[in-house]
Every structure is written in structure tokens, then in C-alpha cells.
Structure 1
Amino acid sequence: MIRYGYKKALCVSILLITLLFIAPLQGIAHPHLFISTQTEFVLNNGKIQGAYETWIFDRFFSADIIQGYDLNRDGVFSKAETQDVYNNAFINTKNYAYFTFIRQGNERHSPEKVSDFSVRQKDGIASYRFYINLSQYSGDFYFAVYDYTFFCDFRYDEKTPVIFTGASGKTPPTYTIAENRKYPVYYDPFDTADMTTMYDTWKPGLQTFYPREIHITY
């Protein structure tokens, strides 16, 4: 089990993942964990069937994962070590909608489950990779990765935020990434890290966040 010698509990308690380490810190409205994301959309005859998300962590959280779960220190996560990461340092993100949101029209949805989870590390940087089924979405849609509690800072990879793989068909999709100010997200800066409440409408005391969305068009 990972032991922490510093107060990183806000986002660590979300991603790591046991409530044993939650510190009731309040009044802190800035991110405590930084994550770069890449999304690989899988095509079949030009239609998106799903997506592999990759989360690349900052060096501090990476050290926690590597030191806590690469038990034989060989630089590779074995099947058993990967399962430990999944059980103890990933699955709790289900309570936060896997930080993944798909929007068509004015409604946002999140995956109920993910599959094909893996973890790796390179040069001291850890990353997760997992698959989301998107076959139920037809036509244009918006895909976004963010933390609606604002404790984690998800940013799309600057060089390769989106990849398309598979059979592209005659009219492969394209994408743009932009901040959508028509569909904001609201959060309470005084919530603790174990709070999972999503605020659909603004009320006094809430802050406003505008997610950057990947707009998939055909």
C-alpha cells in the first residue's frame, strides 16, 4: 500500500483511492494533480465504435504509482500489479464518471463501465489506458475529459490530443477542440475531495468552469 509523506490528499483521494487518506481540506479551489490526455478513436467503416483514453500523470503522482505498485522494481507492471492498480488506484474514478463526458445536444452522458485497463511507466512517468464503448452514438458528438470537482487538471496533449485508427471509410470523421461556453460546469470550491455531486445549474457559492470539448464531426 502506498504511504504518503505529504499532504496531496485532495486529488490523491480521488484517483488513488481509498477514503482512508482523505483530509477534510477546504477553501482550496485550484488543481492538485495534473494529467495530460490522449484519445484514440477506433473506427469501423468510418463510424466511431469506441475510444482508448490515455492519462499521463505528473511526476509526483507517477512516483506514487510506481513506488506503490511496481513491487519488483523492474519498470514493468505485471498482470498482478496491473490488477492491484486497477483495484486500488483506478476503479474509484467510476464514482467521478471516469472524468469522461459525451454530449449530444444539451445532455451529457458518461460511460457506465470501461475495459482493457492497463498501466505503464516510462522514464518515471506513469500512464493509464482504457477503452470506452461509443457505438451507441451516431452522428456528431462532443467528447470531453475533465474533473468537475476541479481538484484535478486534465489537459489534452499538446502534440497529439486525438488519434483515429481503424477503417476510416469514405468519409472519415474530423475533430476540433474548443472551450464551450454554452454548456458550463459548476463546482463548489469548498467541497472536499470525496464529494461526487454534479451541479447542473448555478447557485450562489458555486464557481463556473467551461470544459474544452473534442467535437467529432462527419
Structure 2
Amino acid sequence: MYVNRTIKSFLLLWIATLIIVGPESALAHPHVFADTSLNIVFDQKGLSGIGVKWVFDEFFSSMILEEFDKDHNNRINPNENKGLEQGAFQNLKKYNYFNWIAIDGRKFVIKWVKDFRAQVKKGRLVYYFFVPCHLKASQNRKTVVISPSDPTYYTALEFAVLNPVTIKGGNNFSVKYKIAPSTIRTIYYGMVHPTELTLSFKLKK
């Protein structure tokens, strides 16, 4: 069920202002919620990149679908997908696509992503995209920290309860990971310790 057009127009303007255009002005608690799953992809040389999946809350989903699901059939066709990517995803680039990443302690800036795709599942909007992040394996263990988080805390991204992390193509490597709140990094003026995935890998002997 869609919100009426007056409310929808106001809310879309609010969302555009606070999350898409300028989340710096967001209020002190989350207004958008998303469950996050990460697919860690390896190739023959080492880490290839990170597949990201976001499942949004029903309220935010209905707002975005009202705007971008032009035929209101609860499906995203290729043209609608393109419009949604341009209107409600691409400008997250300046916020590192809500993924804070560090490689061996050094921050990794996401310059581009690929394979963006949006779907509707059980009334909830789902984003999929891939973050290229090439890191060659060696005999020494390398560490990658990935924290799905919005520094303004307008959007709350939490790891999904079921299958929050999957590994693809890692048979040639010794791979370890854990999910836990950060002990050193905070967001929103030090008020929140975001949850992060700490991944390490090296060549198998």
C-alpha cells in the first residue's frame, strides 16, 4: 500500500535532503534501516572484491517504490533500475557507499562500484552491488576491515541475522573472519560503535 501523494512528496523531499543529498543534517537517530549481507569474493590471486546486499525496511521501501516503480507492479524492470540507481544510489559515492573499509590499517576509498541491481522481495526493497577491491594474497596474513555504516547515523545498517557473510572462491587461501562492534572506531560524534567484519587471509601452505 502506497502513501498518498502529498505525504509522499514531503517524505521524498525529506529523504532527498537528509540521506541522498545531505545526510549531515540528519536527526540524532536512524530513520532508515537496512539489513546487510556481504559476499567476500576471491580470485586466483587473492581478494577480488565485496558483494553487498541491503534489505531496507518496509516504510523506506514503499517510499522509494512509489517514486521509481513507475508501473507499481512491485517489480523493478531495467529502465526503473537505471532510474533508481541514478536517483537513489549513485550519490552515496561521496559517503563511500556506506561501507567503511580499511586494508592493513589504511582506509580504502571506493572509487566505483558495479553490477547495481534492485529487487523487491516480500514488500522490501533490496539493493545489490559489487565493490572491486583487489588485494593479492601472500604468505603473510592480510587484514581487511569492512564496516557497513552511515557516519551520520541517519541510516542504520546492521548485519543480517542469517548468513551475514559468505565466502566465494577462497579455497586456495586460509581465510578467517569475525563480526563484532568496533573497539576503536565510532560514528555520530562518538556515540555509536559500528559493527564491523574483520577478515584476514593468506596463501595456504
Aligned to 1:13: 17
Aligned to 1:56: 55
Aligned to 1:40: 39
Q: Secondary structure of 2:95's match?
A: helix
Aligned to 2:144: 141
CA distance in 1, matches of 2:18, 2:136: 28
Report the AA paired with residue 214 of structure 1: L
1:69 to 1:8, Cα distance in 2 relative to 1, 3 A: closer
1:101 to partner: Cα distance: 1.4
Q: Which runs of 5+ in 1 are unaligned?
A: 188-205
Aligned to 1:173: 175
1:45 to partner: Cα distance: 3.2
Q: Which runs of 5+ in 2 are unaligned?
A: none
What's the RMSD between the two structures over aligned residues?
2.6
Percent identity over the alignment is 23
Report the AA paired with residue 155 of structure 2: C
The structure whose residues are more often strand, as a share, is 2
Equivalences for 1:1-218 in 2 at 5 Å? Answer: 5=7, 12-15=16-19, 17-18=20-21, 28-45=27-44, 47-136=46-135, 138=137, 139-165=142-168, 167-182=169-184, 184-187=185-188, 206-218=189-201
1:70 to partner: Cα distance: 1.5
Aligned 8 A contact 1:50 1:135 in 2 = yes
CA distance in 2, matches of 1:37, 1:137: 26
CA distance in 1, matches of 2:18, 2:112: 17
The structure whose residues are more often helix, as a share, is 2
Residue correspondences, number: 192
Q: Secondary structure of 1:140's match?
A: strand
Instruction: State the Cα deviation string for residues 166-191 of structure 1 (Å, max 9, x = none).
Output: x3233342210011212x2343xxxx
